[in-house]
A = this chain, B = another copy of it.
């Protein structure tokens, strides 16, 4: 596809950093880096290809959105054999909701790769989910269906999709902890930070402090999952006191 050299110099230091950044997020090496560059190109950058067609991530977003829906559909089909068409449709909407995708894109800090002419602080919330979808589109073009499936399984399904929680059958431990702290007038803090260590994929660590005391620590591939894990640990540690209250 070819980018104007003033924006992306081939084999530049910047390209090398971008390649490493992508590899960490994807869990595999990109073949054609251009697809991924386009996935982060905001329309405000106002870049055109040699035919004068505007280049930005919106077409990739269209493609990624569709692929994401298909892979989530397949996952639900396999995981919930008793769910009818209406159930499957409803659950898919929850998983690929704007809110959910924005959370995902934010956790992966995709915004730091965005190329634009407007300041990043001026973007709305949806930029996070939009570039996440565009990234899926780029994977589809670069490596095909199988890699999309693997990426979505690692980055969306494993860390974020808990069918029982989505169905509302299981209450979250985090909400139990927060409720209890509020009732007991105790301060609480979820301190989440990146802690990838030697892992191929990005990881998060969380330190949960209640009433000034560190109650639990946990580590996972998403902020949400790490928080939930720490909450569960704190819940069991506090169980006697929580049940009496």
Contacts and interface: CB of A to CB of B under 8 A. Distances in A.
A59 B74 contact: no
Interface in A81-99: 81-85, 88-89
Nearest to A57: B85
A73 interface: yes
A85 B62 contact: yes
A85 B70 contact: no
Binding site of A, secondary structure by majority: helix, strand, loop or mixed?
Answer: helix
Contacts of A85: 58-59, 61-62
Interface residues of A, number: 27
Question: How many protomers of this protein does the assembly include?
Answer: 2
B69 A66 contact: yes
Nearest to A149: B145
A84 to B, nearest CB: 6
Interface in A59-79: 59, 61-63, 66-67, 69-70, 73-74, 77
Given A54-B84, A62-B88, 14 more contacts: A58-B84, A58-B85, A59-B77, A59-B83, A59-B88, A62-B73, A62-B77, A63-B74, A66-B66, A66-B70, A67-B73, A69-B69, A77-B141, A144-B145
